[in-house]
A and B are shown apart, each in its own frame.
Chain A
Amino acid sequence: MARSVSTRRTAVVTLVAWAVALLIFFPILYTIITSFKSEQEAIQGFDLIPSFTLESYRDVQSQYDYFTPFMNSVILSLGSTILALIVAVPAAWSMAFAPSRRTKDILMWMLSTKMMPAVAVLFPIYMLFRDLGLLDSRIGLTIMLMLINLPIVVWMLYTYFREIPGEILEAARMDGASLWGEIVYVLTPMAVPGIASTMLLNIILAWNEAFWTIRLTTTNAAPLTAFIASFSSPQGLFWAKLSAASTLAIAPILIMGWFSQKQLVRGLTFGAVK
């Protein structure tokens, strides 16, 4: 009796989980389906079965070069993530293991920078970039992406580090480990799942960032977000083409996310249940 109830419950829970997952994923799925339709099919209303034409992909390829924005996306998201980790690991370490009276305030302040709409600082940033000659440069945009994701990175790492018992570090110190040794040989190996998921999430956030990457670039540093934007049209319905461009742009990150989902889930739920 008890067994059958629990089986039924599992079945219901599984079904609900699938339904929610499908609901969340549906817009992306429909984008992918639409990319295999002809333009006429795309506007004809809801239909889940495309004619599997590659017409839109051909058009997109012939209109713009995909490789340059793709490489820019890779460089920007990896570069900004690595830079952010270099800054955030020591910062989170000090906040987790050597907190001061102001640590909580500093953390809150960092998070508060994410609360302001980005457009509010568009002009100051634009002028700074202009004066420093960073407009449309990969290095400028890498720094920008690093800075906007830094609060999230620090916060995530801080929560992971807090889960590590300070006694282990103390033991290492008693055994004569230096500060550097403590971070590299004790803390980092224990925090690997946390660091990995922070890294993955940050890569995804940087890959998808579409405000600054469009506004601070023209051609040389423009990543895939600008590639998609160039297919969005105010007049005329080119939904199939836009979907094909979007599919091309999200495919790499989707595949990466698929392969690393175990780390992602482990990292995101790390410390959630005690």
Chain B
Amino acid sequence: MTLKTFLLGACSLLALGGIASAETLTIATVNNGDMIRMQKLTDDFTKKNPGIDLKWVTLEENVLRERVTTDIATKGGQYDVMTIGTYEVPIWAKQSWLLPLDKLGADYDVNDILPAIRGGLSADGKLYAAPFYGESSMVMYRKDLMEKAGLKMPDAPTWDFVADAARKMTDRSAGINGICLRGKAGWGENMAFLTAMSNSFGARWFDENWKPQFDQPEWKETLDFYVKLMKDAGPQGASSNGFNENLALFQQGKCGMWIDATVAASFVSDPKNSTVADKVGYALAPDKGLGKRGNWLWAWTLAIPAGTQKAEAAEKFIAWATSKDYLKLVADKEGWANVPPGTRQSLYDNPEYQKAAPFAKMTLESINAADPTKPTVKPVPYVGVQFVAIPEFQGLGTTVGQLFSAALAGQTSVDDALKQAQDAATATMTEGGYIQ
């Protein structure tokens, strides 16, 4: 009896010891195909790192952003690894909310990470987040409709060509719109597109002294061009279309062109979901001959919040998830076409990947054409291509987005929208102490 009790006690002690020695990492992430795939492949990580367990919290982008911001700002310590975008990294690094990633291992090869992306994730020469997946934007177009209009899409089109083609491709009686662009208000919705577009028109959000620039002719030209083009060749109710709405329109064959995230290429070319899968061509985002193209740069990255108790294990996980070996692992299990794109040069040098992903070249060129540290024609004091990496931008960007969306819907004029945007930006920047 006593022996039995003793053995039982010993066993439970052992069990407790086992539980105590296993570290559990809580990882916050967004719901997209690449992230879900990673969750399925984590056996590989736990096998290589016994003693580390992984728990996932998957949320929609906006909820995730709010959730992790609450946690990191209050030092809640609920997460050990956070999935954040290129917008948050420079701001949070400056606040000392993130731990620098300096122990990623000898064979990690930091220099293989695409420089355009790495630049936006570093501060003072230190890397604060590792990119898991990167994207830019490009033109996706219907080859058949382009041909019907008697045109040929160049690899690097100009805005004038795109506008001309869009007007010629439009056939409203057949339900075909020449071009589908974002119109739904939001800093990550229409403003992502319009800010990137304005860069190619020579516009900028702020001058070197943080003075808002919506009263400058470049912004007027951008917005005029956009509103007129959408009026002539865009879908009805475009002011409420975001990524998903335009994706649905394009997949149903209702758009001649669509300028949006490079990740959309894999959706529109997938015969399971798209009725136009075999008719899609790709081109770089348009320019105006000023040296900047209208494409953005975004990456989902993994970072470690300063409040975590498990920094070492967290960094091990990040090193695994963003390594070359991980890309190889995905390729072995699910094929090269499913590898998370846009982070490493070595992936684009790989002939097998080039063969499996016909849009690879265009994606890489688009990413390389964007520079978050020098996003505009004229100099600016901020980092970010389709956003301005300051905490005030989420609110301000959405306010301006609502004004521009109203201009697209015809509720206000372009001039009024720009004037109100200038006033809103001036008020925000004065309040924030950037300008007097």
Binding site for B on A (CB under 8 A): 39-40, 43-45, 63-64, 122-123, 126-127, 130, 135-136, 214-215, 218-219, 222, 226, 229-237
> Interface digits, B376-417 against A, CB 8 Å rule (1 contact, 0 not)?
000000000000000000000000000000000000000000
Q: Judging by beta carbons under 8 Å apart, are A234 and B67 in contact?
A: no
| 16 A-B pairs whose Cβ atoms sit less than 8 Å apart in the complex | A39-B273, A40-B273, A123-B70, A123-B74, A130-B74, A135-B78, A215-B67, A218-B28, A218-B57, A219-B26, A226-B59, A230-B31, A230-B57, A230-B58, A235-B261, A236-B267
Q: How far is the CA of A236 from the CA of B267 in the complex (A)?
A: 7
Q: How far is the CA of A126 from the CA of B67 in the complex (A)?
A: 11
B248 nearest CB across to chain A (Å): 5
Residue of B nearest to A231 (CB): B31
B21 CB-CB contact with A under 8 Å: no
Closest Cβ of chain B to A40, distance in Å, is: 5
Closest Cβ–Cβ distance, residue B252 to chain A (whole Å): 7
Q: Is residue B77 within 8 Å, beta carbon to beta carbon, of the partner chain?
A: yes
5 closest A-B pairs by beta carbon, nearest first, are A230-B58, A234-B61, A232-B60, A233-B31, A219-B55
Given A219-B55, A229-B59, the answer on whether A135 and B70 have CB atoms closer than 8 Å is no
Q: Contact at A136–B32, with CB atoms within 8 Å? A: no
Q: Contacts of B156 on A, CB cut-off 8 Å?
A: none
Asked if B194 is an interface residue, CB under 8 A from chain A, the answer is: no
- Decide: A237 and B244 in contact? CB cutoff 8 A: yes
Residues of B within 8 A of A40 (CB): 272-273
Check if A237 sits within 8 Å of B70, measured CB to CB: no
User: 1/0 contact trace for B217-237 toward A, CB 8 Å?
Assistant: 000000000000000000000
B78 & A136 in contact (Cβ 8 Å cutoff): yes
> Quick one: closest A residue to B62, CB to CB?
A234
Flag if B273 contacts A235 (CB, 8 Å).
Answer: no
Q: Which of B63-81 contact A (CB under 8 A)?
A: 63, 66-67, 70-71, 73-79
The docked-state distance in angstroms from the alpha carbon of A56 to that of B57 is 20
Produce 1/0 per residue, B43-60, CB < 8 A to A.
000000000000111111
Residues of B within 8 A of A226 (CB): 57, 59
Is A234 touching B32 in the complex (CB atoms < 8 A)? yes
Could you say which residues of chain A place their CB within 8 Å of the CB of B59? 214, 226, 229-230, 232
Q: Which chain A residues lie closer than 8 Å to B263 at the CB level? A: 235
Q: In the complex, A127 Cα to B70 Cα: how many Å?
A: 9
Q: Known: A40-B272, A130-B74. Contact between A63 and B63, CB under 8 A?
A: no
